[in-house]
Amino acid sequence: MSKHHTKEELEHDPLVEFIGKTVTFFNANKTTVLSVGITLIVVVSVIFGYSFYSSSQEGKAQQLLSQAENFYSEGDYTKALNGDEASYSFGFIEIADNYANTNSGNIAIYYASVSSYKLGNYEDALAYIKKYKHVKGILGVGSLSFEASLYELNEDFDKAASTYEKAANWDVNNSTTPFNLYKAANAYHKAGKNDKAKQIAAKIIADYPNSPEMAESQRLQGLLAVSN
């Protein structure tokens, strides 16, 4: 059953008061309100326009990426990287450069790094992987471990060790964590940081006694003891 409000009740109704104040403010500040309103419309339009543009860019990048992936799967890493003029195909490098803000562009960066590694261009491979946005969770561990291995191949053992540690802690589990910790210990040993290597080896033995890396860590401890 509807309720009829008295004039006095309506005058003290919060919604009615707000509408009244809004109308009063608008009448006193028409120019400002219209200017702000137009600005808001423009901002909203830009947001929706950018969302549509981003979706379109992602679609284009996915299509181009699939073509480059075909070359990669065939083992033609040069064409995978640089594309093929004969078939008007983009390579991972061009996709990464032109669609860097899309998910497919980010994947292209990773592919560019791996393709460069396959071709023996370790410096280029490292340069690409440093631009890559690693995926959260277990799926990001492999790419981080790969980045660490590229630092190692480029003889930056200190950076390799810290990146292996990052990979170990990216998703803590009984498989990839001890594996990357052992890699980190070895890299610290190569960097001449034996105390850090001992510390990590001891952690593997204490925290992951059932892992394959436990025996390797014991051997590393023995090697480090002899080298001191």
3 state DSSP class of 84: strand
Q: Which of 186, 128, 127, 131 is nearest to 160 (CA)?
A: 186
Distance, CA of 227 to CA of 224 (rounded, Å) = 5
Query: How confident is the model at residue 19, as a pLDDT?
Result: 42
How far, in Å, CA of 91 to CA of 84, rounded?
A: 7
pLDDT at 177: 96
Q: At 13, phi and psi to the nearest 5?
A: -70, 125
Identify the pLDDT of residue 228: 60
| Domains identified in the chain and CATH numbers | 135-228 (1.25.40.10)
Torsional class of 75: left (φ above 0), alpha (ψ -120 to 50), beta (otherwise): left
Query: Tell me, what's the pLDDT at 100?
Result: 81
Q: What is the pLDDT along the chain (228 residues), one digit of tens a residue?
A: 444 444 444 344 444 444 444 445 445 554 544 444 444 444 344 433 434 345 567 888 888 888 999 999 999 999 999 999 888 889 999 999 998 888 889 999 999 999 999 999 999 999 999 999 999 999 999 999 999 999 999 999 999 999 999 999 999 999 999 999 999 999 999 999 999 999 999 999 999 999 999 999 999 988 888 766
Q: What is the pLDDT of residue 142?
A: 93
Q: Give strand pairing partners of 84.
A: 89
Question: Could you tell me if 81 and 116 are in contact, meaning their C-beta atoms sit under 8 angstroms apart?
Answer: yes
**What is the reported pTM?**
0.74
| 117 in Cβ contact with 125 (< 8 Å) | yes
* Exposure letters 49-72 (e unless 16+ CB within 10 A, then b): eeeeeeeebbebbbebbebbeebb
Q: How many Cα atoms are found within 13 Å in the side-chain-facing hemisphere of 183?
A: 28
What was the pLDDT predicted at 54? 53
List, in order, residues 6 or more apart from 137 with CB less than 8 Å away: 170, 171
For residues 91 and 68, is the Cβ–Cβ distance under 8 A? yes
186/14 Cα distance (integer angstroms): 70
> If we measure between CA atoms, which residue out of 121, 122, 97, 123 comes closest to residue 109?
97
